[in-house]
Chain A
Amino acid sequence: MHKNRSALTPSLIAIVGFLTVCPVVMLVLGSFSQGLGAFGTFTTAKYVQAYTDPAFAEILVNTAIFIAGSAVVATLLALFLAYLNTRTNIPGKSLFGIISLIPMMVPHILFAASWVLLLNPSNGMLNLVLRQLGWEGAALSIYTLTGMILVEGLLDMPIAYLVIAPAMSAFDVALEESSRVSGAANLRTLTRITLPVLRPAILAAATLVVVRSLASFAVPSVIGMPGRIYVLATHIYRVVATGYAADYGLAAAVGMSALAASIILIFLYRRLTSEGEKYVTISSRGYRPAVIDLKGARYPLFGIVAVLSFVLIVLPVLVLIYTSLVPYSMVPSARAFAMMSARHWTAVLNDPVSLLSLKNSLILGVGGATLGICLSFFVSYVIVKVRTRAAGLLESLSFLSFSFPGIVVGIGFMWFFVQTPLYATIWALLIGYIATYLPYGIRPLTSAFVQVHGHLEESSRVSGAGPLTTMRRIVLPLLVPGIVSGWILMATMFVRELSLSVVLSRPGTEVLAVQILRFSEDGLWGRLSALGIIMIFISTGLVAAATWIGKTFTKVEK
């Protein structure tokens, strides 16, 4: 009955398998080799060199503190926001939806750069203000582990929120109500019932943040490197991109530990989420959870949320706009406004490398997301609708790349591309992007496919429509929302992609985020801001365009 399906699954396994397994295999091979280009004889020299380096212990300690700290900050913030949104009568609930969308809007590298502009010890704007106010003590410095943790924690909070909030709103209130009836007050119910039941979701969120911050490159490079605080990702970057001799073998050997840690963590995350589904009971009657009346605390708590949204969304953009217009870092004042000019903008728009990076990022964003979503479509179809053992393998494969730290995958792909004519072409970036971000396309599409109940297709078949008509008239229209959100996620990820690109991008294939990193390394903050604003506009434009197209092509009647 489904003969054409049997060829689909193996070919998808081959494609996805290549995309996810190839960089890992090449990384392993590379780590045991002598030099890029020629694998040479088997050697463990790179491992010995990497793990006996006296500086390595400090890097590991830094990494551990950085990821643990970020996970704590992000998870606590997310828990706080999710609880307020789903369980209390706090005003302005639409704000929470916006906060959870931020990771798509403000690229991490720009967020980190804006905090450098605010809090660097020599001329950070907040430090200038403090000095004007007569502050005598040492300047506040963002170039510390604490600074890195706070910025990374803020950036990863929305991811944790997206894991915790649904679990919280699916929570069966009867569990809490029975605790109240048994004599426990609000706070006791929260600590004895609500939080323990939500523990799998909370742990899953924290694990996800650990994986993300381990892979994070923007914050460690923009904030950590100037402060000489190195974590694994920046250590790898230092090995391949700075100094006289790039050593890809050494980088691969170091990368192996980051990759192994990530893969273990992501499987832990999967365990936790499936355990969470066991725990959280969804009330079949479908009534809204009882809301807790915050009484007098309503507006103060809302104030905190408003400040958080301001810090997350408005402040970075304002700082960038301001910096792109003033000649050097200064406190906003009448003098500053008088000195504003468009010189950083003209500099960027006349800079051939910036323009090239703009063009490359646009091509990669639009073309890559389109190709990526096509692949995700078929993969999701097989995962949800075919459901054989091979489909299970495909699911695991496609989920694996979720754990890949971009820079490590980049090193792995580097070992591969050097052997092929793809080296230093935009195709290398395209393949790397799709491999690393495939789960971003697959996740919205699998949930869209799940919603298309098998009976909807079957009733179309019984009504006399063949498989193709059924696909065109029933399945595709119902999937459009999933396709659009998957495309948006992938396109915005690609436009701002940094950690993979710093390894794979070569002269001629510069991309936006890499160019912004160069500006930050050179201290060209005005140009960085101007190019950053352009980057934000492109992302927002792509989101708007995709949403509009999606609306035009569906007539889902509500």
Chain B
Amino acid sequence: MEIRISGLNKHYTSEGRTIRALDDVDLTIPANEIFTLLGPSGCGKTTLLRCIVGLEMPDTGEIAIGGDVVFSAARGLYVPPEKRGLGMVFQTYAIWPHMNVFDNVAYPLQTRGEPREEISRKVARTLHFVQLDGFEKRPATKLSGGQQQRVALARALVGEPKVILFDEPLSNLDAKLREETRKELRSFLTELRITAVYVTHDRIEALSLSDRIAVMKNGRIVELGTPREIYFDSDRRFVADFIGRANFIAGTIASVSGTETAVETAIGRIACERKGAPAAGATVSVCVRPEFIRVVAADAGGPNVFTGTVESLVFVGDAYEGEVRVGETLLIFRVEPMTPIRVGGQIALRFDPRHCSLLSN
């Protein structure tokens, strides 16, 4: 179901200071998509999620889920969370420690007073779906982190909610388990064809899980798009920086011709392939991600080739990550681990013009 949010504001007062957790948020979350709210901590993403689910009350604005208005400040309307028919997975999983797995999962059905056989059938089906068959009688607190996470997912899914919401559900898992669970979650959600709202500060999680991402900062949505759009085409420095590692090289636009824009910078002229660039003379930043920088032979000619001295080199297993000094500018790059380079050596780098994006300053 589609979620429509309009004019949402929410502020807190803490120690005499006013914090704008949500600053005039307008957002439509399309039906049956995995929609991620991404941003650094304190950007308002969790507050927005909690407003959707009904655990926080916004100051102004309106929220409608699938056509039903659940909150409207103007009409004085507020539907409490238990009446909204949603499912949510909490960061701490919020598994009730005094209940076993069955009771935890059955709880949403029990509160609706569904018949006993119906409850057992639905719980068994949901536990099967999250691959926890036979865990019914286990005390929930005795499960591993990943299993608890799946119990929380089962509990959120069992009542066939209109929308399922996730508040950083993977942040309490260790790195390896987090990766596995992320893939599982992706396949569960794709199979269900359900509207899912997912909150995270982890860019890999956001990029790999989502159909669509909204990047938030200071209570506002600063960028909205598919993972590829956000990654490749963001025209804001904050987003480009937050979504991945990047070099930002300041310069002025020298010429615009067809699909190519030339930018004059401290390290030389950079050719960028970019539509709709600003006119010549404008000051911009060229954003080049380290993964789109190639190390080439020192005598290789052509556009976008720059030579410099390797300042530092870190072996991270699947690659070398390093810094190279070109003139006065320090650039980060990433090369495959078999490349023969050393600290202090001269290397030549080539930027792929298709992946040099222009950010207006």
Residue numbers of A with Cβ under 8 A of B are: 1, 453, 455-456, 458-466, 469, 473-474, 477-478, 554-558
Contacts and interface: CB of A to CB of B under 8 A. Distances in A.
B3 interface: no
B94 A456 contact: yes
Interface of B: 53-55, 57, 78, 80-88, 90-94, 96-100, 107-108, 111-112, 139-142, 152, 155-156, 159
Nearest to B99: A557
A463 B155 contact: yes
Contacts of A466: 80, 82
Contact of A455 (B83, B94, B139, B141): B94
16 contacts: A455-B90, A455-B91, A458-B55, A459-B94, A459-B152, A460-B96, A460-B107, A462-B156, A463-B82, A463-B159, A464-B159, A466-B80, A473-B107, A555-B98, A556-B98, A557-B97
Given A1-B57, A557-B99, 9 more contacts: A455-B91, A455-B92, A458-B88, A461-B80, A462-B54, A462-B87, A463-B111, A464-B159, A466-B80
Contacts, number: 79
A463 B141 contact: no
A456 B111 contact: no
A558 B141 CA distance: 8
B202 to A, nearest CB: 19
Nearest to A558: B139
A463 B82 CA distance: 6
A474 B78 contact: no
Nearest to B108: A463
A465 B98 contact: no
Given A453-B94, A557-B139, A462 B111 contact: no
Nearest to B78: A1
Contact of B82 (A462, A474, A554, A557): A462
Contact of A465 (B54, B82, B87, B100): B82
Nearest to B93: A455
Nearest to A462: B88
B98 A464 contact: no
A392 to B, nearest CB: 13
B61 to A, nearest CB: 15
A473 B107 CA distance: 10
A469 B92 contact: no
Contacts of B86: 462
Contacts of A477: 98
Nearest to A453: B92
B111 A464 contact: yes
A455 B156 CA distance: 13
Nearest to A460: B107
A200 B143 CA distance: 38
A267 to B, nearest CB: 22
Contacts of B156: 462
Contact of B107 (A455, A458, A463): A463
A368 B134 CA distance: 47
Given A1-B78, A465-B111, A466-B80, A459 B88 contact: yes
Closest CB pairs A-B (n = 8): A557-B139, A455-B94, A463-B108, A459-B94, A461-B81, A464-B111, A455-B90, A465-B111
Contacts of A465: 82, 107, 111
Q: Which of A453, A455, A459, A477: most chain B CB closer than 10 A?
A: A459
- Scoring B92, B98, B156 by chain A CB atoms within 10 A of each residue's CB, the highest score goes to B98
A464 B114 CA distance: 12
Given A458-B55, A459-B90, A463-B108, A557 B98 contact: yes
A455 B84 CA distance: 17
Contact of A556 (B55, B88, B90, B97): B97
Nearest to A476: B98
A83 B87 CA distance: 49
B79 to A, nearest CB: 11
Contacts of B87: 462-463
A441 B140 CA distance: 30
A464 B82 contact: yes
Contacts of B80: 1, 461, 466
Most B CB within 10 A of own CB, among A453, A455, A462, A469: A462
A73 to B, nearest CB: 41
Nearest to A465: B111
A458 B81 contact: yes
B338 to A, nearest CB: 37
B204 to A, nearest CB: 24
A186 to B, nearest CB: 35
B98 A554 contact: yes
Contacts of A456: 94, 96
Nearest to A555: B98
A451 to B, nearest CB: 9
B53 to A, nearest CB: 6
A557 B111 contact: no
